[in-house]
């Protein structure tokens, strides 16, 4: 079982190649918004989700994709999908 800190650190590693705002990335918290705070574009948000699928061995559906807008929502979706396994 991963701790919340480990999950955030895994997520940071995943979003790193796609961010356009280093300050937002350095001060990343659960409240950080992928698009507004990290300036990730919608095409790269797809890559983030595909990398999350690979990292955690889960499948993200369209509904979850639509909700995946910030770190908190991403963590919740990952946890839900992991618990369904």
Among 49, 69, 75, 82, interactor with another protein by CB under 8 A: 49
Q: Is 20 in the site for another protein (CB under 8 A)?
A: no
| Tokens describing residue 45 | 């948000």
Among 43, 57, 84, 85, interactor with another protein by CB under 8 A: 43
Among 6, 13, 46, 67, interactor with another protein by CB under 8 A: 46
Q: Is 42 in the site for another protein (CB under 8 A)?
A: yes
Distance in angstroms (rounded) separating the CA atoms of residues 24 and 1: 28
Q: Tabulate helix, strand, coil % of the chain (nearest 5).
A: 65, 0, 35
Q: Contact 44/38 with Cβ under 8 angstroms? A: no
Residue with smaller CB distance to another protein, 2 or 73: 73
Overall residue count recorded for the chain in this entry: 85
Q: Is 29 in the site for another protein (CB under 8 A)?
A: no
């Amino acid at each position: 079982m991963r701790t919340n800190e480990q999950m955030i650190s895994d997520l940071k590693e995943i979003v790193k190649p796609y961010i356009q705002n280093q300050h937002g990335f350095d001060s990343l918290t659960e409240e950080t918004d992928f698009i507004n705070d990290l300036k990730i574009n919608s095409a790269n948000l797809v890559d983030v989700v595909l990398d999350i699928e690979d990292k955690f061995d889960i499948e993200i559906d369209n509904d979850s994709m639509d909700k995946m807008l910030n770190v908190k929502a991403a963590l919740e979706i990952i946890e839900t999908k992991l618990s369904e396994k």
